[in-house]
Amino acid sequence: MRLPKINIPKKYIKAGAWVLGVFLVLIAILGSIAYSKREALLKQMIAKAIKKADTDYGLAIKIENAGFKGLSTVQMKNISVVPKDRDTLSTVADLTIGVKLLPLLFGDVKLAEVALNTGTVNVVLKDSLTNLDFILKRKKKDKKDNKAKIDLSEIAHDILNQVLNKIPDDMEMKNLRFTLNDNDTAKLNFLTTTATIDGGDLKSTILVNDNEATWHINGKLKPGKKQMDVLFFADGKKVELPYLENKLHAKLSFDTVRTEMKSAEYSGDNFKITGSWSVKNLLINHSKIASNDIIVKDAKIDADMLIGPNFVALDSTSTVFLKDAAIHPYLKYTLSPDKIYEVKLHADEQDAQAVLNAFPEGLFESLDGLQVKGKIKYDLNFYLDSSTPDSLKFNSTLTPYNFKIVKWGKLNLQKINETFIYTPYEYGKPMRDITIGPSNPNYTPLSEISSNFKNALLTSEDPSFYTHKGFVEESIRKSFVINFKEKKFVRGGSTISMQLVKNVFLSRQKTLARKAEEILIVWLIENNRLISKQRMLEVYFNIIEMGKNIYGIGEASRQYFGKSPSQLSIGEGIFLANIVPRPKIAMFKFRGDGGLKDYMLPYFRYMGRIMAKRGLTPADTSGYGFYNVRLREGLRRYLLPDSAKVDTAAFDTDTDAPVKMQDESKNLFDRLFGRSKKDKDTTNKQLTVQDTVKKTRKELRRERREKRRLEKEAN
């Protein structure tokens, strides 16, 4: 179909031509005026910027020479940036910057080209001072600004745009040196010999600590489309970070790291950044993580990051890949009006062996070579509102499907079903070998252990031992709540199953890897019924530390009371259960005459009432055997005088969570509710046990000498 012909009167065409012509003439006149004045305008802008840097940040900026080079390109020479009362931060011999004219008309500054020849960036850390302090200075704001609502999505959008706008289409950088001097103990030196961007192609060569290594950051940059794909690697070796080893005693290295941003745009009220991050042969070594190297062969995350008005989140559409295994994480941190922490993990049903193979090398050494079949699925949910920590939500479920162990690896998880040798460790050193079997006269079968002790220990340590599968979610949840309130680790959530695995199968090293290995082994044992509950409890009762170099209920009952485990009374059972969390302070619970100190009575009544309600012992109004507990006479001579004050924090430092307490031990009340400020202040004022013993011995010797002197004078 032909469109009808439109006839425009000639007078309108002439008028439009005149208007356009006049507009172009005005633009030309204004452009010529601006061109003739541009040098003066440049000097004014530079002077204003220098003054602002000095006023707002205390930066002394000097530029020896600045001028235009072409229509929209500025060249500056001999630039220096010096923070007030600090070392020089940066110097540049020659810097050329060109901007794009069209975006500039709309108020956007986008770089067209950057050329830098010979420059330095020098970061100096001296104690608590650094020449980057100026970054932390805040501008004064009026009350209106303080009340203004902060939108994180807008901030993220603006910052990303600012960064992308500063990536030029063309760049040539030569001899830019970055140095870091950290208290003269750790130093870094990076020399970028060349770094270029040509049509979006990024290439660079960086010399580390002179010729120690050569790094490259290469890739493709498309700032206009909010896209980039960058690869970080080294020539002929791994990328290593010696600064971390010198400063943090941590080793970190990798073959390559790849970062990709695919898009960045608004999704409703949220700003969404989509991309990926991957690493090859990542090596991590730190004493808090593991005692050996942890190697991640191949890891990748496809991430969707959401920044909302008041939160930052990694969306559940993200996927973490470890070899052939995958898991979907969801992380969300809400800043206002109250801080909220959310963590969710979901792994679809997948091959169990693939998951096992996906774990980093060195993480589970005791399970090396383990072969399994079947499938597993995992879900975790954690939610904490800081304003109401008691409402914390936590659940974690690893679900097996036709799961079966086909072949044992380095460790046979059924070894404790037979007689075996147990070696307890203290402070990382082996104490002695103990045979857990009939050939050991102190070994006690479960049937020969008094129910008074069995019931007391299960009540205080793990009431649901016979019904749970290695973990008690409610106990773990309460531990999170208490630790969050105390702002430190004061309570764990270990079951007897976990304590048994920790002591029998694993080293006593306090590392994240050991804890993760403990959790996995407990799951394997409990969910595959490798060891019966009765056998687990029997072994546990025969290996638990119950005093200095005292292990197992057989040794403990004879040491403290001169009895066999089958003869223990209700009071003796409650006492022995009480010392399990902190066994080395057991003797300090007794008075000089062999009876228990009075502060123990509330604990006995509390535990006794719980046991009575469960039908585990008869109700008793006199203290559930408290007054009948008597240390055997042969040990009483080693007791300190009742007046002695003891700082028991000097003991049991080899536990998973160091706990500082006074003579009142870490009983059930302490584990549930922590300690009061009064208790902490009292502990700080007490003598250490070494000083107490030394002082007591001196006083006794002095008294004996005085007694002999008086007897001699009387005769």
Mean pLDDT, the chain, whole residue set: 83
Q: Is the pTM of this model over 0.85?
A: no
| Ranges 99-108, 401-410, 477-486: which has the least confidence | 99-108
Query: What is the pLDDT, as a whole number, of residue 4?
Result: 57
Tally Cβ neighbours within 10 Å of residue 500. 25
Domain that holds residue 54: 31-135
Q: Residue 393 in 3-state DSSP?
A: strand
Does the pLDDT value for residue 142 go beyond 70?
no
Least confident of 32-46, 454-468, 689-703: 689-703
Residue 689, pLDDT above cutoff 50: no
Q: Is residue 105 part of a domain?
A: yes
Task: Choose from 87-101, 200-214, 674-688 the range with maximum mean pLDDT.
Answer: 200-214
CA distance 315 to 556: 54
More confident residue, 43 or 605: 605
Please list, in sequence order, all residues whose beta carbon lies within 8 angstroms of the beta carbon of residue 21, skipping any fewer than 6 positions away.
none
Tell me how many domains the chain contains. Answer: 2
Domain termination residue (choose one: 616, 640, 664): 640
Query: Mean pLDDT, to the nearest integer, of 14-31?
Result: 53
E strand or H helix that includes residue 512:
helix 512-527
- pLDDT mean over 184-207: 90
What is the signed CA dihedral for 604, 608, 610, 614, rounded to 10 degrees? Answer: 160
Strands (DSSP E) contained in 337-424 are 340-351, 371-385, 393-407, 420-422
Residue 14 CB burial class (10 angstroms; 0-12, 13-18, ≥19): exposed
CA distance 399 to 298: 25
Residue 551 identity (one-letter amino acid): Y
Q: What is the mean pLDDT of residues 126-142?
A: 67
pLDDT band, residue 232 (cuts 50/70/90): very high
> Could you read off the pLDDT of 302-347 as tens digits, one per residue?
999 999 999 999 999 999 999 999 999 999 999 999 999 999 999 9
Tell me, what's the pLDDT at 709?
52
Question: Strands 170-182, 111-126: parallel, antiparallel or unpaired by DSSP?
Answer: parallel
Instruction: Compute the average pLDDT of residues 538-546.
Output: 96
Question: CATH number, domain at 513?
Answer: 1.10.3810.10
- Quote the pLDDT of residue 201: 95
In a domain, 701, yes or no: no
Q: Mean pLDDT, to the nearest integer, of 136-157?
A: 65
What band does 702 get if pLDDT is binned at 50, 70 and 90?
Answer: low
Question: Which range, of 1-15, 87-101, 222-236, 678-692, averages the lowest pLDDT?
Answer: 678-692
More confident residue, 129 or 269: 269
pLDDT of 16 over the 90 cut: no
Tell me, yes or no, whether 535 lies in a domain: yes
Higher pLDDT, 292 or 459: 459
In this predicted structure, the answer to whether residue 110 has a pLDDT above a threshold of 80 is: no
- Nearest to 124, CA basis, from 176, 184, 80, 59: 184
For residues 196 and 203, give the distance between their C-alpha atoms in angstroms, rounded to a whole number: 5
Q: Which residue has the higher pLDDT, 333 or 514?
A: 333
pLDDT bracket for residue 509 (50, 70, 90): confident
For position 292, what pLDDT does the model report? 87
Indicate the pLDDT class of residue 97, thresholds 50, 70 and 90.
Answer: confident
Closest CA to 98 of 63, 69, 58, 134: 69
Name the nearest CA neighbour of 260 among 229, 227, 232: 229
According to the model, what pLDDT value does residue 691 have? Answer: 45
Of 280-289, 320-329, 466-475, 509-518, the least confident:
509-518
For residue 711 the two structure tokens come to: 């007897």
CA atoms of 4 and 166, how far apart (whole Å): 50
Q: What pLDDT does 492 receive?
A: 73
Among the candidates 640, 662, 678, a domain finishes at: 640
In a domain, 346, yes or no: no
State yes or no: pLDDT of 679 exceeds 60: no
- Residue 52 pLDDT grade (very low, low, confident, very high; cuts 50, 70, 90): confident
| Domain end (from 576, 608, 640) | 640
Examine residue 164 and state whether it is found in any structural domain, yes or no.
no
pLDDT at 25 over 60: no
Terminal alpha carbon distance of the chain: 144
Residue 367 belongs to some domain of the structure: no
CA dihedral of 166, 171, 173, 178, whole degrees rounded to 10: 20
Whether residue 647 lies inside any domain: the answer is: no
* Residue 546, SS3 per DSSP: coil
Least confident range from 154-158, 581-585, 675-679: namely: 675-679
In this structure, of 85-89, 521-525, 640-644, the range with the lowest mean pLDDT score is: 640-644
pLDDT of residue 227: 94
Identify whether 571 is part of a domain. yes
Cβ pair 275, 260 in contact under 8 A: yes
Percent residues over pLDDT 70 in the chain: 81
Per the CB < 8 A criterion, the answer to whether 523 and 595 are in contact is no
538/437 Cα distance (integer angstroms): 10
10 Å Cβ neighbour count for 373? Answer: 13
CA trace torsion 608, 613, 617, 621 (10° rounding): 50
Burial 227-254 (b: 16+ CB within 10 A, else e): bbbebbbbeeebbbbbbbbebeebbbbb
Per-residue pLDDT at 341: 96
- How high is the pLDDT of residue 340? 96
Greater confidence, 249 or 563?
563
Least confident piece of the model among 47-51, 279-283, 535-539: 47-51
User: Is residue 537 within 8 Å of 465, Cβ to Cβ?
Assistant: yes
Q: Which of 232, 226, 301, 219 is nearest to 261 (CA)?
A: 226
Distance CA 431, CA 114 (A): 67
